[in-house]
A and B are shown apart, each in its own frame.
Chain A
Amino acid sequence: MEIPNKKYAFFLGCLIPSREPSYELASRKVAEILGVNLVDMENTTCCAPTAFLSMDHTTSFAVAARNICIAEEMAGNGGMDLVTLCNGCYEQMLHINNSMQNNTQLKEDVNEILKEVDREFKGTVNIRHYAEVLYKDIGTDKIKEMVENPLDGLNVAVRYGCHLIRPSEVTKILFNKEKMFLDELVESTGAKSVEFMNKFRCCGGMLRGAGAGEISDLVLNERLRDLKKSGANCLTTVCPLCFLQFDIGQFLLVKKMKKAQKEDIVPVVHYPQLLGLALGISAEELGLETHRTKFEYIKR
């Protein structure tokens, strides 16, 4: 499974390095321990997802493709696979990468625009998500071997986020069981992935920046109701929007909605932080204190 000394072009996206740096921090530390060689990309821009795709397909495609070109140009020999932490960046670039690889006219049209910046999309790299790199290229067996501090007794509600898994035509994920790769990754830490209703359903995160805050609150409230019945001690996410929605949103709802109670607030962690704790990294070193919700693992 593991390709020795494989390097990956690391694409952070906009939100994580600025608003959720602990996610970046934890992912770097975990990658180092597991032997995932992340090489920072340079001169990237926002990948121009949903909001921009909505206003102009052409611009969005060209901007996303330009980022992919940067990965293609890294280390010669057809480039490095691009790995991202952000679900939005992942689905956007995966979709565009696939579309352009399979549609010659589209590729030509976009390359015509990329000539303005002396770049050319060749279609030589794959777009990966950090979580699926850990699953496919490292594997849960190796992770289990390296766990020093198993998270026994921890019940985790696992959220994949919308764009890690949909549309399945793009992501190639088969929804044929309740527990899939991210649950296995969580359980490789010794924790338990709990069942809960609407586990794969949208949290409303995308609506927040788009002037639909009230609907975002209502959708989040439904997800919290699902979470409450799960018996989870914590929630783990890989999507930066899910994270913000739950880390900050739970407090917002306590203020705005009678039914939301402060005692019900579930602490949220990014998956690499959970894995980091299991691998023996301290909570401090993983930046857990920067979250609004407070998570503490106590061995039972």
Chain B
Amino acid sequence: MKSEKKDKPITIPMEDLDPSFRELITQTFGGERIMSCFQCGTCVGSCPVASVYSDYSPRQIVMDGLLGQKNKLLSSSDSPIWLCASCFACEESCPQGVQITDIIIALRNIAANITGYVPKDLIDQGFAFIEYGTISPLTRSLTKRRMKLGLSEQPPSLPGTGSSVEELQKIIAKTRFKEKLEEVRGNPK
């Protein structure tokens, strides 16, 4: 994929940086070990996304977290945190146990919490999930295919059957998940 990188060194204005951001990350589930990173770059070598798209770098994401690049990571629709394939290769290869994939997921949580940028596809999946209890509801043709194979029309364990949706909606009422989705959806970015 075409790289947007420029050859000149980049200057980051101090006003862009929030020095308390790294603490916020360490206090978020999964982000506890961010400060162990010594920027060796082993993660980039193992990353399947970095291999095909050179602008993407897990090392850079961690660096941006440590520096406090809040806007870049949380509010920009170009934020790299949404390009992670969550394959855990970086986490596995990291010599410091930084838990990079978990940090990226933590950053995503923070983005959703502060009504930053969340990709539309994910928000849509969230709403579908709340309504059906599954990310892949059975359509008529899919049901026909099941029956043609001799499977039951709807297995008891197919998500979204029985009392499952009712219970799901009670849980998300308590966690206010729907409100969170509505807030990020309403975000004009």
Contact = CB atoms under 8 A, between A and B. Distances in A.
Interface of A: 10-15, 17-19, 21-22, 24-25, 28, 40-46, 48, 50-59, 62-63, 66, 113-114, 116-117, 119, 162-163, 166-168, 201-202, 204-207, 209-212, 214-215, 218-219, 221-222, 287, 290
A53 B30 CA distance: 11
A201 B88 contact: no
B122 interface: yes
A55 B109 contact: yes
Contact of B125 (A114, A168, A209, A214): A209
B52 A218 contact: yes
Contact of A25 (B150, B171, B172): B150
B91 A202 contact: no
Nearest to A58: B175
Given A22-B149, A66-B171, A204 B129 contact: no
Interface in B6-50: 29-30, 48-49
A170 to B, nearest CB: 9
Contact of A207 (B85, B145, B146, B181): B85
A206 B163 CA distance: 29
B175 A21 contact: no
B146 A15 contact: no
Given A46-B133, A117-B171, A167 B157 contact: no
Contacts of B155: 12, 17, 24, 40
Contact of A166 (B1, B89, B112, B118): B89
B121 to A, nearest CB: 4
Contact of B126 (A44, A51, A58): A51
Contacts of A57: 29-30, 105, 109
B103 to A, nearest CB: 12
Given A43-B164, A55-B109, 12 more contacts: A13-B159, A14-B135, A14-B136, A62-B174, A66-B171, A167-B91, A167-B92, A202-B85, A205-B85, A206-B86, A207-B85, A215-B83
Contacts of B101: 167
A56, A113, A221 pick with most chain B CB within 10 angstroms: A56
Contacts of B137: 18
Contacts of A12: 155, 157-159
A207 B157 CA distance: 26
B65 interface: no
A59 B105 contact: no
B88 A42 contact: no
A102 B100 CA distance: 21
A287 B172 CA distance: 37
B107 to A, nearest CB: 9
B180 interface: yes
Contacts of B52: 215, 218-219, 221-222
Nearest to A11: B157
A209 B159 contact: no
B170 A116 contact: yes
Contact of B129 (A28, A46, A210): A46
Contact of A214 (B1, B30, B92, B165): B1
A290 to B, nearest CB: 7
B138 interface: yes
Contacts of A45: 133-134, 159-160, 164-165, 167-168
Contacts of A52: 125-126, 129
A66 B167 contact: yes
Most buried by A among B82, B83, B173, B177: B177
Contact of A17 (B92, B146, B173): B146
Contacts of A162: 85-89
B108 A54 contact: yes
A222 B146 CA distance: 33
Given A162-B88, A202-B87, A219-B48, A42 B157 contact: yes
A42 B156 contact: yes
